[in-house]
Structure 1
Amino acid sequence: MPIVTVQLLEGRTDDQKKALVEKVTEAVTSTTQAPPERVTVVIEEMNPANYGQGGQRASDNV
């Protein structure tokens, strides 16, 4: 039972998240031969104020 966690900054649409879940599931099933109904995709959304890279928060670059 593969479980995939995807961390993203907030702001994606429901359609984008739906497509992400579908594509990640396809990738996992094609590489592991796990049936799609056994693949779990968890999307963790982060507030840009709570994420930093290169010494700056993502919210500071907006």
Structure 2
Amino acid sequence: MPVIRIEMFEGRTADQKRACAKAVTEAWVATCGGTPDMVTVIFTDVAKHDWATAGRLASDPKPGS
């Protein structure tokens, strides 16, 4: 049973997550086999101030802005 975790900035709607879960599930089944009921997708919403790349918070203004 695969568990697919998706971490992303908060703000997506339930409809967007529903469509994403469907697409990811279909891609898994098409690529790796199995059935959709085997696939679990877990979304984790992360605030921009809790996400950093290259030492800079995503909530910080872009350099030069």
The two structures share one fold, judged by TM-score above 0.5: yes
- The TM-score normalised by the length of structure 1 is 0.88
CA RMSD of aligned residues (A): 1.4
Q: Which residue of 1 aligns with 2:52?
A: 52
Query: SS at 1:45's partner residue?
Result: strand
Taking structure 2 as the reference length, the TM-score comes to 0.85
Give the count of matched residue pairs: 62
Q: In 2, distance between residues paired with 1:61 and 1:13?
A: 25
Moved beyond 4 Å, runs of 4+: none
Letter in structure 2 aligned against 1:21: A
The answer to which structure has the higher helix fraction is 1
C-alpha separation between the residues in 1 aligned to 2:5 and 2:56? 24
**Alignment gaps of 5+ in structure 1:** none
2:59 match: secondary structure: helix
Unaligned runs of 5+ in 2: none
Give the 3 Å change call, closer, same or farther, for CA 54–34 of structure 1 in structure 2: same
Partner of 2:7: 7
